[in-house]
Structure 1
Amino acid sequence: MSLSEVLVSLGAYLLPMLLFFYMGLDVLYRNPKKIEHQLVSLIIACYFIMFIEEYVRFLLPIEYSPALTALWFSNVGIAIPGIGVHFISKFSGMDKRLPRWIYPYIFYIPLLIIPFNIFSNQKYISSQDFVQVGIWKYPVYNFPYFAAMTGSILIAIVYLVFLLLGQARVRASQDHEREPIYRLMIAGTIITMLWVVFFGYFQFENTLPPYSYLYGGLVWCFMLRLAMQRFEFLNSNKQRYEQLFNLNPAAILLVESSGTIKEANPSAKQLFDHLQLEHAGLDALASAELKKRLRNQLEIKELETKIHNGERELTVLIDGDYVTVDNEPHVILIFRNITLIKEHQEQIAFLAYHDALTELPNRRFFYERLAAAIAEAERKEQQLAVVLIDLDEFKETNDRFGHDAGDALLRHTAGLIKESVGGQGMVARLGGDEFVLFISPLPSTDCVYEIIPEIEERFASRSLRYGNEQLFAKLSMGISLYPRDGLDGDSLLNRADKAMYKLKRERKLRKHNIDQLTQSHSIL
């Protein structure tokens, strides 16, 4: 072998082998456990083995070419399409649409051609005739050769279809990170296919090495390697996101379009501690509003809603976004538990309009509701009654039994008045030992005069047990009627107040007269 032949063989075979060897190890080393990396490494290894065969064939006499091509070169070449389709289906997510009982075996059916090729005298898928032209040993371009070429082109078209479908899916899901990878692989497949067509169907004897179309594998494998590097970069980003996912104090759920909860971070498992998230679907916790938004793919931003943690109801703020994971539509939901905040807000709002001791509406709330009731009574030409209630001898109860007893008596009084009125009107505490209520609508004047004896009877028959003592609340009441006694809240309350104190004076006068009469009888 001359020096020129050695240099030519180095450039034609050894240099591509080194490139394939480097690319294969590089892809496999990056992530040896990932199926996509394994398949790309295997494709590159097949090209590496085919170039070894061509180098060996270059060194040996031409009589070895038919056997080497049929048993080595062609059989390894048969494996590449199946591995390639397997990889692209896996990468594009098409594998998820295949039944488990045929995946991935369907991709390797072409391997059955290998024993057929061996036992058929190796004459159906590779040329058995070779000619020496200069230093090269070219196959005779016959039917088996062109059949193999045409099969390679058809397989490349299958690659392209899978990639175009995958690109359409990621584009529809607006996965802007994966779409450039698809464009790169589509470009590599098209370039390789054009290379194979040009250098496979046309003869360049004594100009290029035999099987020049094989060098298109360098382009394709380089594109695959570059795509896997970008794919791996996305995966490394996902690993960083996974750390953020797990460390985030907010509860995060990754939910499939079917409603199955695919992933939950530790904060979510703590928030939904009464649910087994790995077995529960979104229906187990989501509100109707959240389900509606997800069903219609509406924006989810600071959505305040109720969700369920078993039997417990929580108030949360939800932010969400629609994403694609493994080529499938998902939604990621971020929950912030504001149950305690809402409870505090509700408590503050309640105390702004209610009396803290009795939990009855306060003066402010009563005036607002009374004004609305008067306006409605005026519009409908109805009557309305205001009843002012004051506890008699309340100071004596405080002085004798203490303020705790006084507070207990006020709560007891509030409950009895509210019970007496029921749904006929509204009861409030104006302050101290003074209560007020209005009845609206008032069917007739007699109605209010009937409820007063009911209140007095209830108070007389139901005492408050405080320690060893029985405490009774004694009441004085004054009544005013709309529109007879006033047209606004202040007028009605003033008129009821005057009526109440008139009743108090009459009671005191009667008591005074009774006391004097009792003293006179005692003297006699």
Structure 2
Amino acid sequence: MNLKEAFILLFTHGIPILFFTYMATDVLLRNKKKTEHILLSLISLCYLLLFAEEYIRNQVSIDYSPILSALWLSSVGIAIPGLGFHFLVKFTRLETKLPRFVYPYVFYLPLIFIFMNLVTGAKWISAQQFVQMGMWKLPVYNAGYYQAMSVSIMINFSYLIPLLIAKSKSDTLEQRTIYNHLIFGVVVSVIGHIIFGYFNFEDSLPPYPYLYSGVIWCYFLRHTMKRHDFLNLYDKRYEKLFNMNPDAILLIDRMQTVKDANPRAIQLFRSFELEFAQFFNLLDPIIKERMQAKLEIDHYETDISHNNKRLFLLVNADYVWVDNEQHVLLILRDISVQKRHQEEVKFLAYHDPLTRLPNRRYFHEKLEEALQEAERHNQTLALLLIDLDKIKLLNDTRGHLAGDETLKYAAQIIKEAVEDCGVAARMGGDEFILFIANSPSYEEVERKIEHMQEKFSKYISKYGALPVGMSIGVSRYPTDGVEGQALINIADNAMYEMKRSRA
């Protein structure tokens, strides 16, 4: 072999060897644990071995061609279809339809043929006659060669079966596009196999030129992988965005199993003492239904309760294909703080910020409703107006903190007096008001007044002999009036009468 022929051989076989070496290594390094990566890497390795055999065979004596073709080329060639079918069935997720005693063992039945091939010397599979033409040692195109070639082409063409089945069952444009790419790759490689396998180009091309159809097929696999990234859990370019995102992100498969979670999601669930497996049991059924139906989830507000904690979430979702299987990318924004602020603002619109009792506006609305209810059911109602006497003196002598605490305690005992049969409110300053519905008796009202005054006096006693007390005026519906303001005015007059009598 002269220098020119050595360079030609390096170009025709060395470059494919480098291509398959790169592809096998790159695919495997992406994920060493996933079956699809391992299988695709093994397929690339097999094609590498085919080109390596031809590189060596064309440099040694033609006498070695039959044994190299029989023991090396044929054995590796037999292994490729099993690996190819296993890869396609796994990639298309059709393995879930196969019995467990069949998958994946059925794909490795060709190993039996490899054993038979080695035992028989491959006389019934590989070419046994070779002829030197120019720089190439070419196989003789006889009946045995064409039979083996026809079987090989039919096997390659049958790669379309799992792809077409999977395409017919796919329900997204993205997945159908992936299958279309691979189907096109199979068709192109089969056409190349037919042209370069059946027709004898003599010394115009290297021996077994149909091997280059393997380059075409693996190129389409590589191209599809790069374009759709179906062999990566998520694109490395977005890994930092995934990990640094301030929102919790969950990657969920069709069985509602969390396959991956970013650090914020782990932190959120840990602070909430919640396991990922428990999450779906607590999730809003509407969200689960929309996920099952693959419907849009956009800025959906929900909340979950667990261990006496309540978590408010703003939920967004998208549907992505990972490892050729549809997943839900669930984005959870913790809006608990904002929600509590909103609820506080809403609460303060109708409540007093210090005592947390309803304010004047809320009380008037509820009083009107109660009066209408009493009129419909021919019931009575009692209204009590309460003023804390000398509260300014407490502020001046003990400080405003003591005054605030006294107001809050007064609010507590007034609220307890109402229970569930009325509404208590702070009118402003040191004045409170309440009504008791459902026809309270005179004795019941007097008992509540005495109880409130007694508890308040006992509380005030801790500040010493201060003349701080509780003056209470009472009016009744319908005896003293039928309108709310009239009842308030009468109770106000009664309250000031008590205040003057205690001065």
TM-score class, shorter-chain normalisation, is 0.7 to 0.9
Residue in structure 2 matched with residue 355 of structure 1 by the alignment: 352
2:361 is aligned with what amino acid? R
Question: Is the counterpart of residue 249 in structure 1 residue 242 in structure 2?
Answer: no
Q: Deviations over 1:319-357 (max 9, x none)?
A: 222222222332222222222222233223323322233
2:411 is aligned with what amino acid? A
**Alpha-carbon contact 1:46-1:76 (below 8 Å) kept:** yes
**Alpha-carbon contact 2:130-2:137 (below 8 Å) kept:** no
**Alpha-carbon contact 2:477-2:487 (below 8 Å) kept:** yes
2:19 is aligned with what amino acid? M
Residue in structure 1 matched with residue 33 of structure 2 by the alignment: none
- What pairs up with 1:466-485 in 2 under 5 angstroms? 466-467=461-462, 469=464, 473-482=469-478, 485=480
Q: Compared with structure 1, are the counterparts of its residues 226 and 349 closer, same or farther at alpha carbon in structure 2 (3 Å cutoff)?
A: closer
2:451 is paired with a residue whose SS is helix
CA distance in 2, matches of 1:157, 1:470: 104
Aligned-residue RMSD, C-alpha: 4.1
2:444 is aligned with what amino acid? I
Q: Compared with structure 1, are the counterparts of its residues 412 and 448 closer, same or farther at alpha carbon in structure 2 (3 Å cutoff)?
A: farther
CA distance in 2, matches of 1:181, 1:344: 48
2:153 is paired with a residue whose SS is helix
**Alpha-carbon contact 1:167-1:182 (below 8 Å) kept:** yes
Residue in structure 2 matched with residue 303 of structure 1 by the alignment: 300
Corresponding pairs, count: 492
Q: Structure 2 residue aligned with 1:410, among 407, 410, 416?
A: 407
Residue in structure 1 matched with residue 489 of structure 2 by the alignment: 494
Residue in structure 2 matched with residue 366 of structure 1 by the alignment: 363
Scaled by the length of structure 2, what TM-score is found?
Answer: 0.81
CA distance in 2, matches of 1:138, 1:397: 113
2:157 is aligned with what amino acid? I
**Alpha-carbon contact 2:231-2:323 (below 8 Å) kept:** no
Q: Structure 1 residue aligned with 2:342, among 331, 337, 345?
A: 345
Gaps of 5+ in 1: 512-524
How far 1:147 sits from its partner (Å)? 4.1
2:464 is aligned with what amino acid? E
Q: Compared with structure 1, are the counterparts of its residues 206 and 269 closer, same or farther at alpha carbon in structure 2 (3 Å cutoff)?
A: closer
Indicate the larger mover: 327-336 or 238-247: 327-336
Scaled by the length of structure 1, what TM-score is found?
Answer: 0.78
2:236 is aligned with what amino acid? Q
How far 1:41 sits from its partner (Å)? 2.8
Q: Deviations over 1:169-204 (max 9, x none)?
A: 6x5255x3x654543332121122233345545677
1:84 is aligned with what amino acid? G
Q: Compared with structure 1, are the counterparts of its residues 9 and 95 closer, same or farther at alpha carbon in structure 2 (3 Å cutoff)?
A: farther
**Alpha-carbon contact 1:370-1:489 (below 8 Å) kept:** yes
**Alpha-carbon contact 1:272-1:309 (below 8 Å) kept:** no
How far 1:39 sits from its partner (Å)? 2.8
Q: Deviations over 1:460-505 (max 9, x none)?
A: 54321553637773433130414x5445432332233234445556
Indicate the larger mover: 43-52 or 132-141: 132-141
Q: Structure 1 residue aligned with 2:44, among 41, 44, 60?
A: 41
CA distance in 2, matches of 1:411, 1:281: 41
**Alpha-carbon contact 1:394-1:406 (below 8 Å) kept:** yes
Q: Compared with structure 1, are the counterparts of its residues 418 and 378 closer, same or farther at alpha carbon in structure 2 (3 Å cutoff)?
A: same
1:300 is aligned with what amino acid? I
2:120 is paired with a residue whose SS is coil
Q: Structure 1 residue aligned with 2:16, among 3, 15, 20?
A: 20
Question: Is the counterpart of residue 459 in structure 1 residue 452 in structure 2?
Answer: yes
**Alpha-carbon contact 2:21-2:45 (below 8 Å) kept:** no
How far 1:69 sits from its partner (Å)? 3.8
CA distance in 1, matches of 2:414, 2:130: 113
1:172 is aligned with what amino acid? D
How far 1:454 sits from its partner (Å)? 0.8
**Alpha-carbon contact 2:234-2:322 (below 8 Å) kept:** no
Q: Compared with structure 1, are the counterparts of its residues 310 and 260 closer, same or farther at alpha carbon in structure 2 (3 Å cutoff)?
A: farther
Residue in structure 2 matched with residue 71 of structure 1 by the alignment: 71
Residue in structure 2 matched with residue 139 of structure 1 by the alignment: 140
**Alpha-carbon contact 1:71-1:118 (below 8 Å) kept:** yes
Tell me which structure has the larger Cα radius of gyration: 1
CA distance in 2, matches of 1:139, 1:278: 67
Residue in structure 1 matched with residue 149 of structure 2 by the alignment: 149
Gaps of 5+ in 2: 31-36
CA distance in 1, matches of 2:392, 2:302: 48
Residue in structure 1 matched with residue 171 of structure 2 by the alignment: 172
CA distance in 2, matches of 1:276, 1:406: 40
Residue in structure 2 matched with residue 160 of structure 1 by the alignment: 160
Indicate the larger mover: 332-341 or 95-104: 95-104
1:24 is aligned with what amino acid? F
**Alpha-carbon contact 1:16-1:218 (below 8 Å) kept:** no
How far 1:139 sits from its partner (Å)? 3.1
How far 1:48 sits from its partner (Å)? 0.9
CA distance in 1, matches of 2:190, 2:257: 42
Q: Compared with structure 1, are the counterparts of its residues 267 and 226 closer, same or farther at alpha carbon in structure 2 (3 Å cutoff)?
A: closer
Question: Is the counterpart of residue 282 in structure 1 residue 299 in structure 2?
Answer: no
Q: Compared with structure 1, are the counterparts of its residues 476 and 393 closer, same or farther at alpha carbon in structure 2 (3 Å cutoff)?
A: farther
**Alpha-carbon contact 1:70-1:117 (below 8 Å) kept:** yes
Q: Deviations over 1:136-175 (max 9, x none)?
A: 8553533x44442343233213422233345456x5255x
**Alpha-carbon contact 2:449-2:472 (below 8 Å) kept:** no
